[in-house]
Chain A
């Protein structure tokens, strides 16, 4: 389990406070599906994913993206216990959804990119370092119940 310093926690929480979870969620999931097209295989029921604009405008993508990022928001309140926070979701992603854990790392990288786009220069190397640690911790926690 990665250890988050007080500075990491402060950095992560303060940036998160300025994020519109609904917009960022749709954008993050959308970008995952555009940038890593094989991830679309998990979202067959979502309707039109035939182009970048179709994906980014798809209401199912936006809604599910919001759900994913809301869950991430819960993680941010529990940075010292990510494994506990994500235990059930980990089982779900393994047993029911059959998602390769590599995809959690990809989503984490896309989220970091979305934050970089929104925050520009404010997304300093130190801020990036804290967030990279965060998404790695979440990916690890989501993989922890895999068998």
Chain B
């Protein structure tokens, strides 16, 4: 189990409290689909994904992005217990959705980039380190129930 220091938890929660989960969620999922186009294969039912502007403006992308980030927010309240927090979602992504766990790392990296674009210099090396640790741990927790 990954251990987060008090400083790391503070770095993560302080930035999170300044984020608009709805907007950031849409942006995160949208960027994933633009930057790593093969991920679009999981979202066939989402309608128009034919260009970056179509993707970023797509209401289903925004709605689902918000859902994903809200779940991330739960993780942040349970940083000492990520595997349990994500146990059911892990089973879902394996058994029903058939998502390659590599994609969780990609989404995590996209989130780090979004935080960087939003917070600029406030996204210091130490803050980046804490967030990188979090997104890696979330990716691992989501992969944990795979079989």
Q: Which residues of A contact B (CB under 8 A)?
A: 30-31, 34-36, 52, 55-56, 109, 112-114, 116-121, 123-126, 128-129, 132
Contact = CB atoms under 8 A, between A and B. Distances in A.
Given A31-B128, A116-B116, 20 more contacts: A34-B129, A36-B132, A55-B125, A56-B125, A109-B109, A112-B113, A113-B113, A113-B116, A116-B113, A117-B116, A117-B120, A117-B123, A120-B118, A120-B120, A121-B117, A125-B30, A125-B31, A125-B56, A128-B35, A129-B35
A31 B125 CA distance: 5
Contacts, number: 65
Nearest to B55: A125
Contacts of A123: 113, 116-117
B117 A34 contact: no
Interface residues of B, number: 25
Contact of A125 (B34, B112, B123): B34
B121 interface: yes
Nearest to A121: B117
Interface of B: 30-31, 34-36, 52, 55-56, 109, 112-114, 116-121, 123-126, 128-129, 132
Given A30-B125, A112-B113, A125 B120 contact: no
Contact of B52 (A35, A36, A121, A126): A126
A126 B125 CA distance: 25
Contact of A34 (B30, B116, B125): B125
